[in-house]
Structure 1
Amino acid sequence: MKYIKKLVFPCLALILVLSSCKDEEDKKSYLTFDVYSPELDVTKTIWLYLPADYQTTEKEYPVVYFQDAQWVFEKPEGYTQEMHVDENLRALEKEGFEGVIVVGIQSNEETRADEFSLYANSSLRAGGKGQQYLDFMVHTLKPNIDSLYRTKKDRSNTAIMGASLGGLAAFYGLTQYPEVFGKAALFSAALHFNSDSVLSKASHKLVMEDARVFGVVGKNELNSEVNFPADNEALFKALTKYIPSENVNFTIHEDGEHKIWFWEREFPSAVLFLF
């Protein structure tokens, strides 16, 4: 059973969704609202997670910008899995984690390949709107979030995360806006979509040397056309040539698959490493 309460803020109409469960302390808690993007000329649905102690303290929190929000907090229609990010964070908070605000940007299956890639992929006939997408996050979304919530605004407290093509977008966040995003988590990043530019940007040190980068991929995430382990390993080898080893965490897991359950399992490790 779900309870919906409408809240009105100066800039955004918000919906607070609380999903009941057996343990009252484990209720899911997140906001959803729409933001118009002049950069992309579309309206984006945003999912916002606030730490459990947000309403009872005056603390400021780091912020994570997460791609594909439709399966980050809930299981959308047509999916069999979700990442359970809100439940995972609640569990970490109970163990002493200070907490982060998570800003999830819902994607559209028809346009996500365009928005998550910086350059067009001629063979796949898609891509090339990644700069506009990142511009939306930096120039429209982040200022709204920073004005409405108690956020730590500096780059050392601002991370970008994503899985598959969302992981590609997360990498580009580090290169296109290094002054904004100081941390990133790449879950089975689909680097092959713009492979040449990814390695070129990494090799030319367009990721800042003090960035913290988490990466994870499954050993068997490959087929005749795409080799996720090899692509991700090549990227992280390039990064570790100039970024201190303590700032980079990359793992190829034997049992990892290109599926949400795998990214859900690795999410807590990513958060704890970055923050």
Structure 2
Amino acid sequence: MTGRLFIIILLLPVISIAQVKVLLNVSVLKKTQDTLFIAGSFNDWNPSSEAFMLKQKDSLTYVIELNLPKGNHEFKITRGSWDKTECQKNGTSVANRILNMNVDTVMDIEIANWSDNFKQVKEKYHFGDHVHLVDSAFYMPQLNKHRQIWIYLPKGYSKSNKRYPVIYMQDGQNLFHANPPRADEWAVDSIMDSLIREGSKEMIVVGIDHGGNDRLKEYNPYDSQYGKGEGQAYVSFLVETLKPHIDSNYRTLKDFENTSIAGSSMGGLISLYAIAQHPKTFGSAGVFSPAFWLAPQIYTDVTTKLNGLKHSKIFFVAGDKEGSTMVQNTKKMYDILNSKEKSKNIVFLEKEDGKHTEWFWHREFVPFYQFIAK
């Protein structure tokens, strides 16, 4: 009997993220010497990314072609900074433009005016009496930069000798409720005041302002198309410089079980990286709408750190209206952290109405706070 060798080839489907093309034709009413850029939810709202620079067709017309995941995307046109963003003819701001990407799309945009053509009245913001500046120019030796640092102290802080847990949060300039109110604030202090009145644990919040146009490098521990990553040095600043200063000057509970770190988008990425690298410093993390798309190496790094994270509490939240990959990427990380065994200390919330914006993170701060306060 002649033996025959049968080879069975299984053709498995290739899973890819569906993308569609969008061609944007942008016209301006008056010639400008500046370069135009598109900033949106697909590039972490960077107003001057070379990868999202428009090509000039003639003196009044620009064009850019993008490949974007299916779903909703928000954006604006800038001339390289948020001081030079598009506005209405009379100088008032325009709402974010919206792309609903299901098929290849051509979109025509007319820029009525630019915000820097109008005299800017700088708003003077006032904060609650329990939100203070630690320093308007705190030195960051690991980065050779200075940064404004905020602190929220519970209203009972001045009337007691108690020590308090601490949450370190990124994007400090948007954290606290201001008067007049701002559209891009988390209003964390208002949430905490309300929760504390209802009986929740009191905590201190430390807010670190971001580095402006350096944010995409400073909150990324890895090199990317935006430049050399500074995230490792930034996290070293938090652990080696800022936390010791806060612990020395305020009544804090210093141990890892009473120290948390949190942030959104790039701030969510660096918060997860921080707890993975320093689980004996940060015992819990709030990872809101994380920008894992810009740092895929984070999956490998976290996988190698699983043993160190077995006592950590990590809260993930992402919204269905943040693009097709946001929930998928966040769920992938959640699954990695639960790969050995399901942990009640790792939580992932998917919100149908969630968008990449501060009102969403403001709302989801409540379940995060309740989670770490247990």
TM-score range, shorter chain: 0.7 to 0.9
What does residue 300 of structure 2 align with?
Answer: 200
> Aligned to 2:197, which of 87, 91, 94?
94
> Aligned to 1:57, which of 154, 157, 160?
160
What's the CA shift for 1:140?
A: 0.8
Q: Which has the higher contact order (CA 8 A, sep 6+)?
A: 1
Looking at structure 1, the residues matched to 163 and 292 of structure 2 have their Cα atoms a distance apart, in angstroms, of 34
- Structure with a larger share of its residues in helix: 1
* Structure 1 residues 72 and 127: alpha-carbon distance in aligned structure 2, compared to 1, 3 A threshold: farther
The AA in structure 1 aligned to 2:143 is L
Looking at structure 1, the residues matched to 340 and 159 of structure 2 have their Cα atoms a distance apart, in angstroms, of 42
Looking at structure 1, the residues matched to 184 and 334 of structure 2 have their Cα atoms a distance apart, in angstroms, of 28
Is the 2:148–2:209 Cα contact (8 Å) retained in structure 1?
yes
1:63-102 equivalences under 5 Å are 63-74=166-177, 80-102=183-205
Looking at structure 2, the residues matched to 69 and 153 of structure 1 have their Cα atoms a distance apart, in angstroms, of 21
What does residue 360 of structure 2 align with?
Answer: 262
TM-score scaled to structure 1, two decimals? 0.84
What does residue 4 of structure 1 align with?
Answer: none
* Structure 1 residues 28 and 237: alpha-carbon distance in aligned structure 2, compared to 1, 3 A threshold: farther
The AA in structure 1 aligned to 2:232 is Q
Looking at structure 1, the residues matched to 237 and 213 of structure 2 have their Cα atoms a distance apart, in angstroms, of 18
What does residue 126 of structure 1 align with?
Answer: 227
The answer as to 2:319 corresponding to 1:218 is: yes
> Could you give the per-residue CA deviations for residues 170-194 of structure 1, whole angstroms, max 9, x where no partner exists?
0011122121111000110111111
* Structure 1 residues 119 and 107: alpha-carbon distance in aligned structure 2, compared to 1, 3 A threshold: same
TM-score scaled to structure 2, two decimals? 0.63
Q: Secondary structure at the match of 1:246?
A: coil
* CA root-mean-square deviation: 1.9
Looking at structure 2, the residues matched to 135 and 76 of structure 1 have their Cα atoms a distance apart, in angstroms, of 33
Is the 2:260–2:282 Cα contact (8 Å) retained in structure 1?
yes
Q: Secondary structure at the match of 1:222?
A: coil
Looking at structure 2, the residues matched to 231 and 127 of structure 1 have their Cα atoms a distance apart, in angstroms, of 23
Looking at structure 1, the residues matched to 249 and 342 of structure 2 have their Cα atoms a distance apart, in angstroms, of 35
The AA in structure 2 aligned to 1:93 is I
> Could you give the per-residue CA deviations for residues 231-263 of structure 1, whole angstroms, max 9, x where no partner exists?
101000110123652101101100000010000
Looking at structure 1, the residues matched to 345 and 364 of structure 2 have their Cα atoms a distance apart, in angstroms, of 17
1:94-243 equivalences under 5 Å are 94-121=197-224, 124-195=225-296, 197-206=297-306, 207-222=308-323, 227-242=325-340
- Give the percent of matched residue pairs that are identical in Structure 1 and Structure 2: 36
Looking at structure 1, the residues matched to 184 and 281 of structure 2 have their Cα atoms a distance apart, in angstroms, of 31
Unaligned stretches of 5+ in structure 2?
A: 1-124
Looking at structure 2, the residues matched to 141 and 180 of structure 1 have their Cα atoms a distance apart, in angstroms, of 12
Q: Secondary structure at the match of 1:126?
A: coil
Q: Secondary structure at the match of 1:186?
A: strand
Number of aligned residues: 245
Q: Secondary structure at the match of 2:205?
A: strand
Looking at structure 1, the residues matched to 233 and 191 of structure 2 have their Cα atoms a distance apart, in angstroms, of 31
What's the CA shift for 1:108?
A: 2.2
Is the 1:18–1:29 Cα contact (8 Å) retained in structure 2?
no
Is the 2:126–2:178 Cα contact (8 Å) retained in structure 1?
no
Q: Which runs of 4+ in 1 moved over 6 A?
A: none
Unaligned stretches of 5+ in structure 1?
A: 1-16, 20-26
> Could you give the per-residue CA deviations for residues 146-195 of structure 1, whole angstroms, max 9, x where no partner exists?
00111010111110000000000100111221211110001101111111
